[in-house]
Amino acid sequence: MEKKQNKYPVNHIIGFALSITLTIVAAWTALSSDLPVMWIIIAIMALAVIQAGIQLFMFMHITERGATHAPWNMMFHAFVIAAIVVAGSLFTMSFGFTHDHGGGDHHDESGAESHEESHDDHEGH
Amino acid sequence: MSEQKTDDVALEYSTHQGQMNIVGFWIFLAAEISLFSTLFATYAVLFGRTAGAPEPAELFEAGTVLIMTFILLTSSFTCGLAIHNMREGSLKGLMIWLGITLLLGLGFLGFEIYEFVHYAHEGATIGSSAFWSGFFTLTGTHGVHVTLGVGWMIAILIQLKQRGLTAVTTRKVFIVGLYWHFLDVIWIFIFTSVYMIGMVV
Amino acid sequence: MQLDEFFVTGEPLIYAGMVSIVLVSATVIFLLTYFKRWKWLWNEWLTTVDHKKIGIMYILSALAMLFRGGVDALMMRTQLAFPDMNFLNSQHYNEVFTTHGTIMIIFMAMPFLIGLMNIIVPLQIGARDFAFPFLNAVSFWSFFFGALLFNLSFVIGGAPDAGWTNYAPLAGSELSPGPGINFYLLGLQLSGIGTLATGINLMVTILRMRAPGMTLMKMPIFTWSTLITTFIIIFAFPILTIALALMTIDRIFGSHFFTLTGEGLPMMWANLFWMWGHPEVYIVILPAFGIFSEVIASFAQKQIFGYKAMVGAIVIIAGLSFVVWVHHFFTMGAGAFVNSVFSITTMMIAIPTGVKIFNWLATLYKSKIIFSAPMLWSLAFIPSFTIGGVTGVMLGMAAADYQYHNTYFLVSHFHYVLIPGTVFACFAGLIFWYPKMFGHKLNERIGKWAFWLFLIGFHLCFFPQYFLGLDGMARRIFTVGPEWFTLNFVSTMGAFLMGLGFIVFVHCVIYSFRFSPRNIEGDSWGYGRTLEWATPTPIPKYNFATLPEIESHDALIDMKEKGQTTFDRDKLEPIHMPSYTGQPFIMAAIMFFASFALVFEWITLAVIGLAGIIVMMIIRSFDYDEGYHIEVDEVIETEKKARGMTDE
- C122-131: pLDDT as tens digits: 999 999 999 9
**Residue A95, pLDDT score:** 79
**Residue C518, pLDDT score:** 86
Cβ distance B129 to C263 less than 8 Å, yes or no, reads yes
Q: Within A1-102, where are the H helices?
A: 10-31, 37-54, 70-92, 95-98
C369-394 tens-digit pLDDT: 999 999 999 999 999 999 999 999 99
**Residue with more model confidence, B106 or B13:** B106
Identity of the residue in B3, B50, B126 whose CB atom sits nearest the CB atom of C255:
B126
Cβ distance A86 to B42 less than 8 Å, yes or no, reads no
d(CA A95, CA A91): 8
C628-637 tens-digit pLDDT: 999 999 999 9
Q: Is the pLDDT of residue A84 over 70?
A: yes
The string of DSSP codes covering C186-203 is: HHHHHHHHHHHHHHHHHH
**Residue C642, pLDDT score:** 85
Scanning every residue of chain C, which has its alpha carbon at the shortest distance from the alpha carbon of A107? C263
Mean pLDDT of B140-151: 97
Q: Nearest CA of chain C to the CA of B67: how many Å?
A: 29
Task: Give the whole-number percent of chain A exceeding pLDDT 70.
Answer: 68
Whether residue A67 lies within 8 A of chain C, CB to CB, comes out as no
Query: With bands split at pLDDT 50, 70 and 90, how would you rate the model's confidence at A125?
Result: very low
Cβ distance B130 to C256 less than 8 Å, yes or no, reads yes
Query: With bands split at pLDDT 50, 70 and 90, how would you rate the model's confidence at C275?
Result: very high
**Residue A3, pLDDT score:** 44
Query: With bands split at pLDDT 50, 70 and 90, how would you rate the model's confidence at A106?
Result: very low
Q: Is the pLDDT of residue C189 over 60?
A: yes
d(CA C291, CA C302): 15
What values do phi and psi take at C474, rounded to 5? Answer: -80, 150
Query: With bands split at pLDDT 50, 70 and 90, how would you rate the model's confidence at A110?
Result: very low
Q: Is the pLDDT of residue C647 over 70?
A: no
Whether residue B181 lies within 8 A of chain A, CB to CB, comes out as yes
* Residues whose CB falls within 8 Å of the CB of residue C395, separated by 6 or more in sequence, listed in order: C327, C401, C404, C409, C410, C413
Most C CBs within 10 Å, among B26, B35, B168, B179, to test the C interface: B35
**Residue B8, pLDDT score:** 59
**Residue A10, pLDDT score:** 86
Query: With bands split at pLDDT 50, 70 and 90, how would you rate the model's confidence at A120?
Result: very low
* Helix/strand/coil for C226: helix
Scanning every residue of chain B, which has its alpha carbon at the shortest distance from the alpha carbon of C255? B127
Mean pLDDT of chain C: 94
List of chain A residues whose C-beta atoms are within 8 Å of the C-beta of residue C325: 88
Whether residue B13 lies within 8 A of chain A, CB to CB, comes out as yes
Cβ distance C235 to A78 less than 8 Å, yes or no, reads yes
d(CA C267, CA C252): 19
CB C537 within 8 A of CB C201: no
Amino acid at C316: I
Task: Indicate the length of chain A as a whole number.
Answer: 125
Cβ distance A90 to B41 less than 8 Å, yes or no, reads yes
Whether residue A95 lies within 8 A of chain C, CB to CB, comes out as yes
**Residue C1, pLDDT score:** 64
Query: With bands split at pLDDT 50, 70 and 90, how would you rate the model's confidence at C55?
Result: very high
Q: Nearest CA of chain C to the CA of A103: how many Å?
A: 8
Whether residue B60 lies within 8 A of chain A, CB to CB, comes out as no
* Residue from B172, B164, B198 nearest B55 by CA: B198
Q: Which of residues 26-55 of A touch C (CB under 8 A)?
A: none
Amino acid at B8: D
Identity of the residue in C234, C239, C267 whose CB atom sits nearest the CB atom of A93:
C267
Looking at chain B, which subunits does it touch, using at least 3 CB pairs closer than 8 Å as the criterion?
A, C
State yes or no: cis peptide before C220, omega within 30 of 0: no
Scanning every residue of chain A, which has its alpha carbon at the shortest distance from the alpha carbon of C261? A101
Query: With bands split at pLDDT 50, 70 and 90, how would you rate the model's confidence at A109?
Result: very low
Whether residue B29 lies within 8 A of chain A, CB to CB, comes out as yes
CB C115 within 8 A of CB C144: no
Q: Is the pLDDT of residue C117 over 50?
A: yes
List of chain C residues whose C-beta atoms are within 8 Å of the C-beta of residue B158: 622
Identity of the residue in B9, B45, B184 whose CB atom sits nearest the CB atom of A93:
B45
**Residue A122, pLDDT score:** 38
Q: Nearest CA of chain A to the CA of B98: how many Å?
A: 14
Q: Nearest CA of chain B to the CA of C237: how many Å?
A: 8
Q: Is the pLDDT of residue C569 over 80?
A: yes
Cβ distance B10 to A79 less than 8 Å, yes or no, reads no
**Residue C307, pLDDT score:** 95
d(CA C417, CA C407): 16
* Helix/strand/coil for C628: strand
Tell me the C-alpha to C-alpha distance, in Å, between residue B169 and each of B95, B99, C577, C622.
12, 16, 21, 11
Identity of the residue in B28, B39, B49 whose CB atom sits nearest the CB atom of C200:
B28
Whether residue B188 lies within 8 A of chain A, CB to CB, comes out as yes
Whether residue C429 lies within 8 A of chain B, CB to CB, comes out as no
* Helix/strand/coil for C409: helix
Mean pLDDT of B147-176: 96
List of chain C residues whose C-beta atoms are within 8 Å of the C-beta of residue B34: 234-236, 238-239
Side-chain half-sphere exposure of C494, counting CA atoms within 13 A? 19
Cβ distance C268 to B126 less than 8 Å, yes or no, reads no
Q: Nearest CA of chain C to the CA of A56: how many Å?
A: 19
d(CA C197, CA C588): 13
Query: With bands split at pLDDT 50, 70 and 90, how would you rate the model's confidence at C171?
Result: very high
Whether residue A76 lies within 8 A of chain C, CB to CB, comes out as no
**Residue A68, pLDDT score:** 75
Cβ distance C333 to A85 less than 8 Å, yes or no, reads no
Q: Which of A65-79, B24-38, B144-158 has the lowest mean pLDDT?
A: A65-79
C312-356 tens-digit pLDDT: 999 999 999 999 999 999 998 888 999 999 999 999 999 999 999
**Residue C594, pLDDT score:** 97
Query: With bands split at pLDDT 50, 70 and 90, how would you rate the model's confidence at C19?
Result: confident
Whether residue B191 lies within 8 A of chain A, CB to CB, comes out as yes
Element holding C630 (H helix, E strand): strand C628-630
Whether residue B9 lies within 8 A of chain A, CB to CB, comes out as yes
C239-254 tens-digit pLDDT: 999 999 999 999 999 9
| Full-model pTM | 0.93
Mean pLDDT of B17-36: 95
d(CA B173, CA B83): 7
CB A6 within 8 A of CB A28: no
Tell me the C-alpha to C-alpha distance, in Å, between residue C521 and each of C19, C296, C439, C629, C643.
45, 21, 9, 27, 8
**Residue C13, pLDDT score:** 81
Scanning every residue of chain A, which has its alpha carbon at the shortest distance from the alpha carbon of C335? A95
**Residue B142, pLDDT score:** 97
Mean pLDDT of C401-419: 96
A26-67 tens-digit pLDDT: 999 998 888 898 899 999 999 999 999 988 888 887 777 666
* Residues whose CB falls within 8 Å of the CB of residue C214, separated by 6 or more in sequence, listed in order: C125, C126, C550, C555
Enumerate the β-bridge partners of residue C156: C7
Scanning every residue of chain A, which has its alpha carbon at the shortest distance from the alpha carbon of B185? A52
Q: Is the pLDDT of residue B3 over 70?
A: no
Q: Is the pLDDT of residue B188 over 90?
A: yes
Whether residue A100 lies within 8 A of chain C, CB to CB, comes out as yes
Element holding C576 (H helix, E strand): strand C575-577
**Residue B2, pLDDT score:** 39
List of chain B residues whose C-beta atoms are within 8 Å of the C-beta of residue A30: 196-197, 199-200
Q: Is the pLDDT of residue A24 over 70?
A: yes
What values do phi and psi take at C334, rounded to 5? Answer: -70, -10
Q: Nearest CA of chain B to the CA of A123: how many Å?
A: 15
ipTM of the predicted structure? 0.94
Cβ distance C265 to A95 less than 8 Å, yes or no, reads no
Most A CBs within 10 Å, among C200, C203, C228, C235, to test the A interface: C235
Side-chain half-sphere exposure of A17, counting CA atoms within 13 A? 6
Most A CBs within 10 Å, among C242, C259, C271, C323, to test the A interface: C271
Whether residue B44 lies within 8 A of chain A, CB to CB, comes out as yes
C516-543 tens-digit pLDDT: 988 778 899 999 999 999 999 889 999 9
Identity of the residue in C207, C238, C614 whose CB atom sits nearest the CB atom of B38:
C238
- Strongest mean pLDDT among A91-100, C137-146, C148-157: C137-146
Q: Nearest CA of chain A to the CA of C334: how many Å?
A: 6
Looking at chain C, which subunits does it touch, using at least 3 CB pairs closer than 8 Å as the criterion?
A, B
CB C301 within 8 A of CB C370: yes
Query: With bands split at pLDDT 50, 70 and 90, how would you rate the model's confidence at B25?
Result: very high
Q: Which of A96-100, A104-108, B51-55, C216-220 has the lowest mean pLDDT?
A: A104-108
List of chain A residues whose C-beta atoms are within 8 Å of the C-beta of residue C204: 70
Query: With bands split at pLDDT 50, 70 and 90, how would you rate the model's confidence at A6?
Result: low
Cβ distance C235 to A99 less than 8 Å, yes or no, reads no
CATH architecture label of B11-48+60-200: Up-down Bundle (1.20)
List of chain A residues whose C-beta atoms are within 8 Å of the C-beta of residue C326: 92
**Residue C7, pLDDT score:** 82
Cβ distance A47 to B80 less than 8 Å, yes or no, reads no
